[in-house]
A and B are shown apart, each in its own frame.
Chain A
Amino acid sequence: MKVHLSNYAYLRNFSVFLNGFDPSDPTKLEITTNDNWIAVHPAILTVVAALGLNLPSENITFDEITARSGYYLDRMGLFDILHKPSPFTIAYHEAAWRFIPLTQIKTQEEQSKFISEMVPLLHLDPKKADAIKYTVGELVRNVLEHANAPNGAIVAAQYSQKSNVIRLGICDTGMGIKSSLAHTWRGRAQDDLSAIKWALVPGVSGTTMREGGTAENAGAGLFFVKSISMLTRDYFVVYSGSGVYRLLKRRSDVQSVRLRADPDEDKHAETDSAPFFPGTLVAIDISVDKIEEFASLLEAIRMAYSSAVQARRKARYKRPRFI
């Protein structure tokens, strides 16, 4: 496998990362970097870490890192998590950046500890922290419960003071969304992209076809997180297998955002021919100044969810037949 860490790879231009990702030969991982500058979304680092954790460290190689910003990889903990020696020995400090380094979470207890410690690390206003805690709580739990990933979830985040955005990535190398849904929703999960989009529909769980879910699963987690992204008008990406669904940024000068149950109705980009990623990545940007009171976001989500359930119930009714 080959991964290139470029000088500008974020969710708005996610294809830059995809173009530099070659998943062939899963027995080794070659990481190359831009000669002058490295600037990548933390979600991309979670992919690199997740792929590398499946390999012995001697099968992972870095090229000579010459970029001045290469120490970013060190600060994000990439060398540590891959058990590789870091070429950086000087402790740099960039005050404008707050971050959560790459963290492996394999149990619910580790998840709870991570969530309680992440807010101070990001220096977030506690009033705006609930949306972030919520996102991490739902997505990491999804991995622990549904991904069948021996290495658990890999999480990393950054807060940029300059743009006032939190960038978050949660990745696993488990069974992928298509396999996770195949047991209960085979007809809806015939390819990776269809499976991703079906998983984004409220009330769709890999554990049951029953409306309302099981006692422990409702199939609402991904819809909620996508809705938080919709309401804060920033990017949201799901990458699993060869499928990528990327919610595009919404205009900030338009007052209201309509939440829709069908992800096809949202302004998005998609492909089912991305380099095959053996697992699932969920990446999200959250503009902090657009996080209203979290309760207000939830009110909008409540209305959308309720409409979706009503519409689905209505669709099950028998209709008069006019003969």
Chain B
Amino acid sequence: MKTIIILKRAGSFAENKDVARDIRLAQLAPALAKGEEVTLDFNGVTGATQSFIHALISELIREYGDDVFDRLYFKDCSQTVQQIINIVADYMEER
């Protein structure tokens, strides 16, 4: 199981989508491609923009469908972060 600490890269309010894209391309996507399970640890992150979460996970939902959530976990998310993740998951699954 690979764990990615979001706070270290994005700060307490995650809004830099360049960082989100870098995490996806450099860590998240390669790990999932290898069949690994990945935990995105949001401990200490109070909020995030939809743009950040979209850049982080939308392409993975497009690629793997909702099966991605069998191997991708979200840890210690604030209510705000949970809502944003749910919004992105909703519109990517409903498209």
Determine whether B66 belongs to the interface, using a CB cutoff of 8 Å to chain A.
no
Contact present for B13 and A213 (CB under 8 Å): no
**Residue from A126, A137, A220 in contact with B15 in the complex, judged by beta carbons closer than 8 Å:** A137
Fill in one digit per residue for B66-95: 1 if any A CB lies within 8 Å of its CB, else 0: 000000000000111011101110111011
Interface centre among A126, A211, A215, A294 (most CB of B within 10 A): A215
Question: Could you jot down 15 A-B contacts, CB within 8 Å?
Answer: A111-B16, A126-B46, A133-B15, A133-B47, A137-B13, A138-B15, A211-B95, A212-B58, A220-B51, A224-B50, A295-B79, A295-B80, A295-B82, A295-B83, A302-B86
Minimum distance in angstroms from A322 CB to a CB of chain B: 28
Evaluate contact between B13 and A218: CB separation under 8 angstroms: no
The complex places the Cα of A221 from the Cα of B94 at a distance, in Å, of: 18
Interface range, A side = 35 or more
**Chain B: interface residue count, which band?**
20 to 34
**Are B87's CB and A302's CB within 8 A?**
yes
**Contacts A115-B13, A218-B50: A108 and B18 contacting too (C-beta < 8 A)?**
yes
- Could you tell me the distance between the alpha carbons of A293 and B47 in the complex, rounded to whole angstroms? 12
Distance (Å) between the CB of B89 and the closest chain A CB? 10
Partner of A137, one of B49, B59, B91: B49
Main secondary structure of the interface of A (DSSP, over half): helix
A218 pairs with B54, CB closer than 8 A? yes
- Nearest CB of chain A from residue B56's CB, rounded to whole Å: 10
- Pick from B46, B54, B79, B86: contact of A213, CB under 8 Å: B54
Residue of B nearest to A202 (CB): B91
**A27: Cβ under 8 A from any B Cβ:** no
Partner of B95, one of A212, A216, A293, A301: A212
B21 touches A130 (CB 8 A): no
**Interface assignment of B44: CB less than 8 Å from any CB of chain A:** no
Q: Indicate if B6 sits at the interface (CB-CB under 8 A).
A: no
The docked-state distance in angstroms from the alpha carbon of A221 to that of B17 is: 13
Which listed residue, A116, A141, A298, A310, touches B13 by the CB 8 Å rule? A116
Which residues of A does B touch, CB under 8 Å? 108, 111-112, 115-116, 126, 130, 133-134, 137-138, 141, 202-203, 211-213, 215-218, 220-221, 224, 293-295, 298-299, 301-302, 305-306, 309-310, 313
Contact status B51-A298, CB under 8 Å: no
Chain B residues, Cβ within 8 Å of A115: 13, 15
B17, B59, B90: the one within 8 Å of A302 (CB) = B90
Assuming the contacts A213-B58, A302-B90, asked whether A293 and B79 have C-beta atoms less than 8 A apart, the reply is yes
CB distance from B7 to the nearest CB of A (A): 13
Q: Are B90 and A306 in contact (CB under 8 A)?
A: yes
Output the residue of A133, A212, A295 with the most chain B CB within 10 A: A212
